[in-house]
Amino acid sequence: MGIMQGKVVIVTGAGRGVGRGVALDLARAGAAVVVNDLGVSLTGAGDETPVAEQVAQEIRAFGGRAVANGESVASWQGGRRIVEAALDSFGRIDGIVNNAGNLRDSLFHKMTEEEFDAVIAVHLKGSFNVSRAAAPHFKNQGSGAYVHMTSTSGLIGNFGQANYSAAKLGVAALSKSIALDMQRFNVRSNAVAPFAWTRMIDSIPTNTPEQQKRVDGLKKLVPEKIAPFVTALLSDAGAGVTGQIFGVRNNEIYLFSQPRPIRTAHTSEGWTPETIAERVFPMFANDFYPLLRSGEVFTWDPV
Secondary structure (3-state) at 69: strand
**E strands within 150-261?**
187-195, 245-249, 252-255
Report how far residue 45's alpha carbon sits from residue 52's, in angstroms, rounded to the nearest whole number. Answer: 16
**pLDDT given for residue 1 in this prediction:** 74
Residue 62 included in any domain: yes
**pLDDT given for residue 200 in this prediction:** 54
Q: What would the pLDDT profile of 230-268 be if each residue is shown by its tens digit?
A: 999 999 999 999 999 999 999 999 999 999 999 999 999
Which stretches of the chain drop beneath a pLDDT of 70?
A: 41-49, 198-219
Residue 286 included in any domain: no
Residue 283 included in any domain: no
Residue 77 included in any domain: yes
Q: What does the DSSP 8-state code read for residue 149?
A: E
Give the number of domains in the chain: 1
Residue 163 included in any domain: yes
Distance between first and last Cα of the chain: 30
CATH (domain of 31):
3.40.50.720
Residue 267 included in any domain: no
Residue 61 included in any domain: yes
**pLDDT given for residue 301 in this prediction:** 87
**pLDDT given for residue 64 in this prediction:** 98
- Domain limits at 245? 8-258
Q: What does the DSSP 8-state code read for residue 161?
A: B
The residues carrying an active-site annotation are 164
pTM of the full structure: 0.92
Report how far residue 115's alpha carbon sits from residue 95's, in angstroms, rounded to the nearest whole number. Answer: 30
Task: Give all strands of the β-sheet with 245-249 in edge-to-edge order.
Answer: 65-69, 32-36, 8-12, 95-98, 144-149, 187-195, 245-249, 252-255
